[in-house]
Structure 1
Amino acid sequence: MPRENSFSDSDGRSLTPDLEDETGPAPASPTYAASPTSRLPSSPSKHTERTRVTSAASRPSAAGSRPAAASAGVPTMPPIHRFRHTVRKVMAMHRSTNVITGRGVGAEPGVDPRRASADAQFGGIKQDCVIEVADYSAVRSSFGRMTNREFVNFMNDPAASERESWVKVRWINIGGMSWDVIKAVSIKYDLHPLALEDVFHTRSQTRSKSDYYTRHLFLRILCHELSDSDEPAVSTFAQGSTLTDLPRSDSPTPFTDDDAEMEMREMGKGEFGDDEKTLRGTTTRRKGPLLPTTRPGAGSTRRNTTGPRSRLTELATLRDNAADANKNRRIEEAALKALKSGERVNVKVSPMFIFLFRNGTVISMHSTPNLELTQPITRRLRQRDTGLRTSADASLLVQSLIDLLVDKALEVIDAYHVKIKKFEREILLKPKITTVRNLHILSGDLILHKRTLEPIRTVIYGLRRYDVDRAQALIDTTAEGNENIKAVGFMSHKSKIYLADVFDHMEYILSSLEMFAGIGENLINYTFNMASYEMNEVMRRLTLATIIFLPLTLLTGYFGMNFTSMWSVTNHSDVVFWIIALPVMAIVLPIFVVPDIKRMIHYVQKRMLTKKAVKVRFLLSFWLHPG
């Protein structure tokens, strides 16, 4: 009889393993196996690669799985038991990837690197990173660079990653985003799952923020830096999508039926060798779903529309729709980017993630697979007489990283200042519609940068003003013994003093953005006002010409009529035409030009009054101060 809250096959037998029936270990993350490692030297700059030692009993070869298992003292299982064991593993993988409960809105927040579901979702994020580990104090310093594999081995070896007694601050600077590197450092330092979710699900225009956790402080700061003209304006990582191209509340990709069957084959081949035919079948092949789609004992063979297969189909449909929407969005972004190409400031926007621990450890991550961005900080640490080195304060290192990002933003502001001056000169010299187009694009970029830079000011202000208050909120005062605990913030007093200077720079950046946006809008309005003024002048000239020649045209039409008997032409000469035309023009022209005559008289009066006032002021000054 099947247990309650368990899955059953068509015969009513339970497919959910009992604790006492479990013959193999629970499926875990495949990246980090419990294997002995070689001891690495304590210095991060010199170390050896860790070797994995796997016993023959745990991973037998395809040709000799049974003898190896027998020699290791592991009893062999009958085919039916092996089949059930494999099915249980697949079911566990299904549960770990959240197939039964569904995915999307309402999924469990956070990224736990110890779960196999995290490997299934983020395992494809691979990049050759550059990792630098810097240990320093006021008297000594040590720097070392590592590759992905070297850093993973370094993190997994407690003896190698243990800090020496003289080390006050350890800075782990990671350039590039790769799952194996982030997983190793997150497990080593127990990074909060919500912080890791922000790392992998951050978009280009996500607001900068600071999150306080019990073990560490997490900062996400958007870096704005100038890029070459032939490079994209936004880095690949920081485009409108996340690393996984999934919504923020999305769960790992579920297994389909084909994936589950393929997984069974791979596990059967890896564990049971030649007995793979027990999984496939010798004559017939089961093509139905792995989990039952009928409810046993109900007396009906109708398919359960809420079963795993229908749910997988629904999820596949939703994924296809999301993929189509994402494709259309990327097409629109590419078309808009092509239209905006030209006279613009190329700015690369990418997030930097900073973790600050109370023990003096700082972890920084950014998407660019090099460390050129943080080289100024590294050079300061290599010099013994710098304030950053002599203080040996981890929070001051965080302040220096924030100050570096703000300085990069200052370079962007200077580039926009040069560009806006160029456009202003072109507009004042000769307004053109091309310049107006460039100003429109520049104004849009300024609005976007203001939206992404303004939260940085809020983050800096919060670190200076509410650091202790937010640290106090982390203490559970209801627990016994925590009533009189004094909260200690993550930022030191000295770092807060230097953050005040960074805050002033952010104020200058934001005020400059507002000024540039205002200047651009004024230049656009000035261009159209000048175009309207020139059009009005043209129409005024045409109107004046029409007023002058309208009476003459009227009289010419009259005298040009071909009548047989016309006394004005037969009995007189052309003098009669001018005797009539000149008085008419003398009457008509003043009537239409009266407003212009009044404005001219007013202008002359004001000009004479101004000259008279200046002359009186000059004579008075000369009389009071003759020398």
Structure 2
Amino acid sequence: MPRENSFSDSDGRSLTPDLDDEEHGPSSPTYGTSPIAASPTKHTALPRPRPSFNSSRPAHSEPIRRFRHVVRKVIAMHRSTTVITTRGIGAEPGVDVRRASADAMYGGIKQDCIIEVADYSSTQSSFGRMTNREFVNFMNDDAASAQEPWVKVRWINIAGMSWDVIKAVSLKYNLHPLALEDVFNTRSQTRSKVDYYTQHLFLRILCHELSTDDEAFASAAAQGSTLTDAPRSESPVPFTDADNDVEMREMGDGDFGEDEKTLHGNSTRRKKAPILPTSRSDVSTPRKSRRTTTMHSLDPATKRRIDEVALRALKSGDRVNVKVSPMFIFLFRSGVVISMHSAPSLDLTQPITRRLRQRDTGLRTSADPSLLVQSLLDLLVDKALEVIDTYHVKIRKFEREILLKPKIETVRNLHILSGDLILHKRTLEPIRTVIYGLRRYDVDRAAALVDSSVAANQDFKPAGFMSHKSKIYLADVFDHMEYILSSLEMFAGIGENLINYTFNMASYEMNEVMRRLTLATIIFLPLTLLTGYFGMNFEGMWSVHGHSDLLQVFDIIHERHTHFYSSFWEIALPVMAVVLPIFITPDIKRIIHYVQKHILMKRIVKKTLKTA
């Protein structure tokens, strides 16, 4: 029977190793031994009976039996890992790096990161770059990672996302599990926000950068859709019984009745798909979707990703390509600032590093960690200003093309530009809210973390994370955000007006063409009617037989002058004189009104000139 506090499968088999197998079983990546196996129990586990071997069993059956035992143990390990790491709606939020389940869930996320550690004060500074292994060893070594007495601010700048690096810095500085969940489960279009915790301040800010067509396309393919309906604690699909058979076949033990065929390699194998996520984008992608290839069998998240990439390909052309990626910032009261961004490059934060290397800069002389956070926010806002300036140039180009000669291609580009501006407004507005909250509610939110019911905290006056000087500089950043958002609204309005102007001009030109055709029809309508009447060749019609449209006709055959007095023009001219004014009266009134206004304007100008 399974021991108490142990997991078991549907057949009642214990999924945790026996006491005699603990030394051979898998150990926790964090603690070294499994906490479940080492936990005390009230009941003693009964020893399992060992199967007796018949002397008639073939000699080669012993390796086969061992192979079966190993395969079943691997399946049990997968099941136990699934039980630990199963998440979904109602799961416990947060990512606790001290749990073995976090290693099983996010251990496959690996990337070659570039970590820069900068220690500085107003008089001294020290800079160093590390790789993943060097940084992990640096964090684990308390003596090496200890700050010198002269260090006022330590800035750990992590470029890239890798589980070993984030786990090491989380264990060292005790990062909050909810903040880590936002780091690993965020998306490109997630709203910017700020969270207050007891140990540190956490900020997630979206960075808007100009990019090329290839970079924007690759970013869309990697990040997927901008919107998601997945739960906040969504994770890969659990390891089901249907997948067990697949794993058995992949391990070479498809049918237990034909072990010899399996051992001799007669069974078919295919490439095994990864069970755990290997990147942050795989965290919200179910495991089964990575095994299928048909469009109908894909999950909604993958379909949205495909639609996003296809839509971006259709929108490619004369547009502003903007790459949106999150930056995560942790601010500690001890003077430690940790920044993370997904791109494995330090080009984004190079301006801040150059300022820290110079002694006469305000960032360096103040040695204020909150001012470093303000500088990072200012850097991201300046990147957004570059995007806005590019949109300004683009909207002026489209306006010039529309005023010169409206084209449907320009209208298409304006439509795409207006949609992009709406999306950028959605991602940029929360940044203004974050900056305003840091300036206005920093102390109040920090005070809310203190439990006032405790007697020791009743006289405690909490302080905010942001200094007074950083709040002053944040006011300038807030003004820049106001300019960015007002520019977005202005560009969107200009684009909409240009689109309306184009279609109004097309309608006006069509109305002018129809007006000319109508005027020509009105002029020639009486003539056409009378010509048709007098052109009828009938003997009995006196008006046709005895009259003509000529005032005088010379009869060559009889050599005499015959005068025919026309009745056609006697009828046609009066009819035209009556019909034309009736139809063109509005035009005549408009012309008269224009002449009167023009004369009045000239009189006022002359009178003004004489007075001056």
CA contact (8 A) 1:227 1:347 kept: yes
Q: Determine whether 1:147 maps to 2:131.
A: yes
- Displacement, 1:147? 1.2
Q: 2:490 aligns with which of 515, 529, 542?
A: 515
Partner AA of 1:513 in structure 2: L
* CA shift for structure 1 position 328: 2.2
Amino acid of the structure 2 residue aligned with 1:572: H
Instruction: Find the residue that maps to 2:567 and give its secondary structure.
Output: helix
**Aligned Cα root-mean-square deviation (Å):** 3.7
Pair 1:344 & 2:322 matched: no
Report SS of the residue matched to 1:609.
helix
Q: Which amino acid aligns with 2:363?
A: L
Cα displacement (A) at 1:125: 1.8
Aligned to 2:576: 585
Alpha-carbon displacement from aligned partner over 1:540-578 (angstroms, at most 9, x marks no partner): 101100000101111111112121333333322323322
Does the 8 Å contact 1:98/1:252 carry over to 2? Answer: no
Q: 1:589: Cα distance to partner?
A: 0.4
Aligned to 2:606, which of 576, 594, 615? Answer: 615
Q: Is the 8 A contact 2:221 2:309 kept in 1?
A: no
Aligned mates of 1:11, 1:509 — CA distance in 2: 62
The one-character-per-residue Cα deviations of 1:424-477 (angstroms, maximum 9, x if unpaired) are 111111111111111110000001000000000000011111111111111122
2:430 paired with 1:446:
no
Letter in 2 for 1:585: M
Q: Does 1:135 align with 2:119?
A: yes
Query: What is residue 63 of structure 1 aligned with on the other side?
Result: none
1:181 aligns with 2:149: no
Aligned residue among 427, 450, 457 for 1:482: 457
**1:198-597 equivalent positions in 2, closer than 5 A:** 198-232=182-216, 235=219, 239-240=223-224, 247-251=231-235, 253-256=237-240, 323-574=298-549, 575-597=566-588
Contact 1:227 1:233 in 2 (8 A): no
Q: Say which SS state the counterpart of residue 95 (structure 2) adopts.
A: coil
Q: 132, 140, 145: which one pairs with 1:161?
A: 145
Amino acid of the residue matched to residue 554 of structure 1?
Answer: L
SS of 1:112's equivalent in the other structure is: coil
- Code of the aligned partner of 1:578: W
Counterpart CA distance in 1 for 2:167 and 2:234 is 19
**CA–CA distance in 1 between the matches of 2:117 and 2:533?**
100
Structure 2, unpaired ranges of 5+: 34-47, 52-65, 261-285, 550-565
Structure 1 residue 334: Cα displacement: 2.2
Q: 1:375 to 1:2 in 2, by over 3 A?
A: closer
Answer whether contact 2:203 2:330 (CA < 8 A) is retained. yes
Q: Which moved more, 1:179-188 or 1:364-373?
A: 179-188
Report the equivalent of 2:56.
Answer: none
Query: What secondary structure is seen at the aligned counterpart in 1 of 2:450?
Result: coil
Q: In the alignment, is the contact (CA less than 8 A) between 1:234 and 1:349 conserved in 2?
A: no
Where do 1:99-114 residues align within 5 Å?
103-114=87-98
Q: Secondary structure at the match of 2:129?
A: strand
- Are 1:599 and 2:590 counterparts? yes
Q: Is the 8 A contact 2:358 2:364 kept in 1?
A: yes
| Offset from partner CA, 1:391-439 (integer Å, 9 cap, x none) | 1111110000000000000000100000011111111111111111111
After superposition, the C-alpha distances for 1:266-285 in whole angstroms (9 at most, x for unaligned) are: 9xx9xxxxxxx9xx999989
Offset at residue 341 of structure 1 (A): 1.1
What is the one-letter code of the residue matched to 1:153? N
Whole-Å separation in 1 of the counterparts to 2:153 and 2:531 = 99
Distance (Å, rounded) in 2 between the aligned partners of 1:175 and 1:32? 28
Letter of the structure 1 residue corresponding to residue 83 of structure 2: N
The answer as to 2:174 corresponding to 1:190 is: yes
Distance 1:89-1:139 versus aligned 2 partners, 3 A rule:
farther
2:516 maps to amino acid: R
Distance 2:219 2:258 in 1: 55
Q: Do the aligned partners of 1:29 and 1:114 also contact (CA within 8 Å) in 2?
A: no
Inter-partner Cα distance in structure 2 for 1:549 and 1:346: 57
Correspondence list, 1:13-28, <5 A? 15=14, 23-24=22-23
Aligned residue-pair number: 537
Task: Give the match's secondary structure for 2:573.
Answer: helix
> 1:105 is matched by which residue type in structure 2?
I
1: CA distance between counterparts of 2:442 and 2:391?
A: 34
* C-alpha displacement of 1:27: 5.6
AA of the residue aligned to 1:469: D
Asked if the contact 1:232/1:346 (under 8 Å) is kept, the reply is yes
Mapped to 2, the partners of 1:10 and 1:609 lie a distance apart of: 98
Query: CA separation of 1:497/1:522 partners in 2, compared to 1, >3 Å: closer, same or farther?
Result: same
Q: TM-score, normalised by structure 2?
A: 0.79
Question: In the alignment, residue 103 of structure 1 is paired with which amino acid?
Answer: R
- Residues in 2 aligned to 1:555 and 1:460: alpha-carbon distance in whole angstroms: 81
**Change in CA separation of 1:238 and 1:445 when aligned onto 2, cut-off 3 Å:** farther
Report the alpha carbon displacement of residue 148 of structure 1 after superposing the two structures with TM.
1.4
Kindly, what percent of the aligned residue pairs are identical?
A: 75
**Inter-CA distance 207–22: structure 2 relative to 1 (3 Å threshold):** same
d(CA) in 2 for partners of 1:16, 1:317: 24
Cα pair distance change 1:171/1:265, threshold 3 Å: farther
Residues 88 and 337 (structure 1), Cα distance of their counterparts in 2 relative to 1, 3 Å cut: closer
Unaligned runs of at least 5 residues, structure 1: 35-76, 270-276, 286-314, 623-627
With the length of structure 1 as denominator, give the TM-score of the two structures.
0.77
Measured at CA, do residues 563 and 184 of structure 1 come closer, stay the same or move farther in structure 2, by a change above 3 Å? same
Q: CA deviation at 1:85?
A: 12
